[in-house]
A = this chain, B = another copy of it.
Amino acid sequence: MSLRHAVLGLLSEGPASGYDLLKMFDISLSNVWPATQSQLYAELGKLADAGLVDVSAEGPRGRKEYAITEEGLAELRRWITEVEPTRVLRSDMLLRVFFLAQVSPEQARAYLGHQADRVRKQLEHLEGIREFLENRHDNLSEYGRMTLEYGLRLGKAQVEWAEWAEGQIR
């Protein structure tokens, strides 16, 4: 149930509406834990029922602003420190590599080269985010930089791997 904790985490920085949260997800969490609009509104309802958040203000157009409760904060901290992350990383990119013997060597090399390109583009995108994050000093940006660095390092390793793998196919 990570969506729940993603919402709690964002609300730990201050109250927000479902609409606000959706934008926050798209800006900061889209590469780590994306969420859709329908998911969000449903989850906010459940969180309110569970007493982990409550409606702190109502605005125009039916806007409901939610704030995290003490219980919600406690649950967020418990999740961070006591719940083991799940390590399953399904990758259909890597799954295709397993079966590369079923296509020609040219096609296999093209596949790997294409993956390297994709990750290079992703890295450029992340560099853009890095610039955007410069000069921002809130909690989320501070630790956002840390997750960004993760993306940068792993992305570079991925590009190097794909180039190496391409060279392995004769």
Interface residues of A (CB under 8 A from B): 2, 5-6, 9, 12, 28-29, 32-34, 73, 76-77, 79-81, 85-103, 107, 110-111, 115, 118, 122, 139-140, 142-144, 146-147, 149-150, 153-154, 156-158, 160-161, 164-165, 168
Q: Are B122 and A149 in contact (CB under 8 A)?
A: no
Least distance between A11 CB and chain B CB atoms (Å): 10
Q: Are B9 and A95 in contact (CB under 8 A)?
A: yes
Residues of B within 8 A of A102 (CB): 9, 12, 73, 76-77, 80, 139
Q: Are B6 and A95 in contact (CB under 8 A)?
A: yes
Q: Which of A76, A79, A142, A161 is packed against the most chain B CB atoms within 10 Å? A: A161
8 contacts between A and B (CB under 8 A): A9-B99, A76-B102, A87-B122, A94-B150, A100-B146, A150-B158, A150-B165, A153-B157
A1 to chain B: closest residue by CB: B92
A39 to B161: give the CA distance in the assembly, Å. 31
Residues of B within 8 A of A144 (CB): 98
Contact partner, A80, options B103, B140, B160, B164, Cβ 8 Å: B103
Least distance between A158 CB and chain B CB atoms (Å): 7
Least distance between A39 CB and chain B CB atoms (Å): 13
Residues of B within 8 A of A77 (CB): 102-103
Contact partner, A98, options B32, B73, B103, B164, Cβ 8 Å: B32
A89 to B144: give the CA distance in the assembly, Å. 16
Q: Which of A76, A79, A122, A147 is packed against the most chain B CB atoms within 10 Å? A: A147
